[in-house]
Amino acid sequence: MKIFTLAALFVASLAGLQAHAQERVWRCGNEYTNNAAVAQQRGCKLMEGGNLTVVQTPRPASGAAATGGSAAGPARAPAGSPRVDSADQRARDNDARTVLETELRKAEARQAELLKDYNNGEPERQGNERNYQKYLDRVAEMKAEIARNESDIAGIRRELGRLPANR
């Protein structure tokens, strides 16, 4: 009987420790609190079951800063970012334009080569393509490569369009 009593006391003490370690948490909209008085005053809902982890983040200084600027003015760079001289920015934009134009010329030359080899969907058969399915597979790969290259060209043109006009 003593063992049963000791076991019951042990289990009861563990339950008491667990109940003491867990606090009640209330949800007030998007905010959480463990203060019963505040929860009652606001009409918050008691959260039950499962674990709850709340991580607080710093609030933005103003509404305009959180949205990246107002509708009336342009978005500003973050506070810690370095300023770039307009001449330096112009040089960077010109360098980017040069790189993109070079890539565009390469992609267009590749496209012309692919279209020539594709021969309007009827490329010349190769010696290892006695099996007609091999030929069809190669034609499908060529068509997919042409589509990918067209997509690349369109992307490069979009990027060029985003750069400011040459000054």
For 77-123, the pLDDT digits (tens) are 677 778 888 899 999 999 999 999 999 999 999 999 999 999 998 99
Instruction: Say if CB 97 and CB 163 are below 8 A apart.
Output: yes
Instruction: Say if CB 17 and CB 31 are below 8 A apart.
Output: no
Distance CA 122, CA 145 (A): 15
Distance CA 87, CA 56 (A): 42
The answer to whether the predicted template modeling score (pTM) of the entire model surpasses 0.75 is no
Instruction: Say if CB 107 and CB 153 are below 8 A apart.
Output: yes
Domain boundaries in the chain? 86-162
Which is more confident, 69 or 140? Answer: 140
Task: Give the residue among 160, 45, 149 at the shortest CA–CA distance from 99.
Answer: 160
Q: String of b and e for 107-133 (b: at least 16 CB within 10 Å)?
A: beeebeebeeeeeeeeeeeeeebeeee
Q: Give percent above pLDDT 70 in the chain.
A: 73
> Which of 34-38, 51-55, 96-100 has the lowest average pLDDT?
51-55
In this predicted structure, the answer to whether residue 32 has a pLDDT above a threshold of 90 is no
